[in-house]
Structure 1
Amino acid sequence: MNKKVVIIGSLDTKEAEFRYVESILTSSGVSTLLINTGIYETTCEADITNEEVAAAGGVTLEELRKKQDRGLAVATMAKGRQYRFRS
Structure 2
Amino acid sequence: MKVFLALTFLTFVVYFPFLQRYIFLYSLVGFICKHIQRKAEWRGEWIYTVLQRLRLRMLGGASGGGAGGGGDARKIAGGGGDV
TM-score by length of 2: 0.31
- Which protein is richer in strand relative to its size? 1
Q: Which has the higher contact order (CA 8 A, sep 6+)?
A: 1
- Which protein is richer in helix relative to its size? 2
TM-score by length of 1: 0.30
- Rg larger in structure: 2
